[in-house]
Amino acid sequence: MYLQKLSVHNFKNYTGADFLFSKNVNCFIGNNGVGKTNLLDAIHYLSFCKSYFTSNDLQNIRHGQDFFAIHGTYHKDPGDENVIQCVQERNKRKRFLLNKKEYDRFSDHIGQIPLVMISPYDRDLINEGSEIRRKYVDSVISQFDKLYLDDLINYNKALLQRNSLLKLFAEKRSWDMLALEIWDEQLVRLGEGIHRKRRAFLEEIIPLFEKYFRMITGGSESVFIEYQTQLYGSSFREKLAGSISNDRAVQYTTVGIHKDDLGFLMDGFPIKKFGSQGQQKSFVIALKLAQFDYTRKTKGFSPILLLDDVFDKLDDTRVQELIRLVSEHSFGQVFITDTSEERILKNFDHKEIDHRIFRLPGSLANLN
């Protein structure tokens, strides 16, 4: 699966632009603020029906315009062409189309064009709270397991209802255990299934993550991802029963898979506290490359890989190793942004791999 052509109209800083891409490596070079990352975000839209950076689609309409449109032409097999369109008008519902046929639900498209993006914003996985790490795990699993996504939505609905009951009981100074148990049953049934799938996913991706970290860094540090969950030791049902007094006091559900987290460790210590910026960046890049490998094995073909400003704060050895990795045939189509034309030319011009370089802003023409 590769993106042959991209057209953007009134998207962020672009009035209109068309690109023809290589099946392998495509590099956007230019100063900060010229729109390199915006092109990666447009490609991300075509896979996930949304921006990588903001949940507000209207913010991506070029200032003073009434809409944005993104069109992509994809090929998987010879003669197999698919055109994806995303159109957002002000005061109207976003439209997403496959070969001119509009989707009723955006979720029907998720997973059709697998994609992995690595961005400086990914350091939030290390530095922010547990919710962002749960969302990351859920987003990866949901691309391949529609039932998982449905169960997660229903779990969150049941959790909301249980929390609402706890608040209502406190306000009315009453207690109805039977009413609470209705939602307990749903939380247990859905939560245990979600827990099993999260655990299975992590068991599969952690060895891949450790492999890529060693490849990028030369094995100078040991790393591990720890699945932190309350569902170890006893059943979810027992955990809920044991937390009743505490739940009544704080008026929300204190145990469950909605409290899951990931512990990111380097040499046995939290990388958030003890890792340098370069080590943290290598950690996240290795995690995303493991996601890429997991996706490829699950889907049976390579996803598109977007690398946004990944070389900053990496030493030359790690940069060269990362470029060697993504230049391999198994990585399929790769898009890279960088502010350093010298670095891109140095690392790609001598390689026997099909690549195109685009200088922004400018003619947008292929430089190679």
What's the pLDDT band for 252 if we cut at 50, 70, 90?
very high
Question: Quick check: 202 pLDDT over 60?
Answer: yes
CA distance 15 to 12: 8
Specify burial of residue 286 (Cβ count, 10 A radius: 0-12, 13-18, 19+): buried
User: Could you tell me where the beta strands, DSSP code E, fall in the chain?
Assistant: 2-11, 14-20, 25-29, 67-75, 81-89, 95-98, 101-102, 115-118, 223-228, 261-266, 269-270, 304-308, 334-338, 355-359
Specify the DSSP class assigned to residue 303. P
Query: Across-strand partners of 355?
Result: 25
Q: Are 43 and 28 in contact (CB under 8 A)?
A: no
In this structure, the number of other CB atoms found within 10 A of the CB of residue 37 comes to 21
Specify the DSSP class assigned to residue 302. P
- The better pLDDT of the pair 351, 61 is held by 61
Question: Quick check: 362 pLDDT over 70?
Answer: no
Token pair 């006091």: residue:
249
CA distance 339 to 333: 20
Specify the DSSP class assigned to residue 62. P
Check residue 350 and give its pLDDT. 61
What's the pLDDT band for 366 if we cut at 50, 70, 90?
very low
**What is the average per-residue pLDDT within 166-173?**
95
Q: Are 35 and 12 in contact (CB under 8 A)?
A: yes
The pair of structure tokens assigned to 264 is 């990111």
Angle, helices 277-299 vs 130-142, to 10°: value is: 20
Entry pTM: 0.88
CA distance 255 to 237: 10
